Amino acid sequence: MAFDFDGTLSEIVPRPQDAVLDPALAPSLERIAKMVGYLAVISARDRATLTRRVPADWLTLGSYGLELPESISASGYPDGFDPVAARDSLDAVEHDLKALVARWPSARLERKTWGIAVHFRGGAEADYADPATFPKVNSLAESRGCRAVAGRLVIEVEPQGAVDKGWAVRHLAGALSPSAVVFTGDDLGDVPAWRAVKELGATMPAVPVGIRSAEMPASELEVCDVVLDGRGELSGLLGRLLEMAEG
């Protein structure tokens, strides 16, 4: 069973550094961890941050899967990833992005280990909704060999060689050979993971679970087999799964 973190296991909060694993979910997750082969978190956050927020025995895949646990990757990265080139490209685009983001007074720039996030939550929502905003960020990203990915009131800039959560799900399935797969998420960055789970359904039980929100286009949830009406329903879903497993 794999999960997104922000907006799924944690509430969306104004300051990303304040996000924590929802205490209401912890008891059910502890019980589920004893029944399944693996619990994993696949997040846009860097892996060091994730490991401080979830139990030590969970698999943590940071930066959309670019940072891998040692148990499934000797290098800690996907094959072929060049950390030096990636760092150089992010350093270059960060300088450009600072000038662009200055035009949006309420937007915030967050440098991560392997990415740069432009946050629009907390006053810059109108700037995010402007049709010209994403192309401007993406143009700067591409000029430095990077790419931009839209999320819920955030645009993530990823380095050359970056992967998405769909790649991460398929990599986990290949490395762990599970008998079934479930992935739960709430954001645009989770769409590739849902699609990967759907593909895995041709060979094993596989359930993509989405969480509905006002910020998530309904069309992107159509690939999910289960759609929850908000994070509040995740606790109920976990409880139902436990009932089925223990019954």
Q: How large is the C-alpha radius of gyration of the chain?
A: 18
For residues 151-173, b (16+ Cβ closer than 10 Å) or e, as one string?
bbbbbbbbbebbbbbbbbbbbbb
Question: Of 183, 190, 177, which Cα lies nearest the Cα of 64?
Answer: 190
- Host H or E run for residue 146: none
Catalytic residue among 4, 127, 186, 190: 4
CA angle 218, 184, 133 (to 5 degrees): 50
DSSP single-letter state for residue 75: S
4 part of the active site: yes
CA 227 to chain centre: 17
Pairing of strands 147-151, 40-42: unpaired
Question: Of 169, 241, 162, which Cα lies nearest the Cα of 199?
Answer: 169
Residues annotated as catalytic (active site), given as ranges: 4
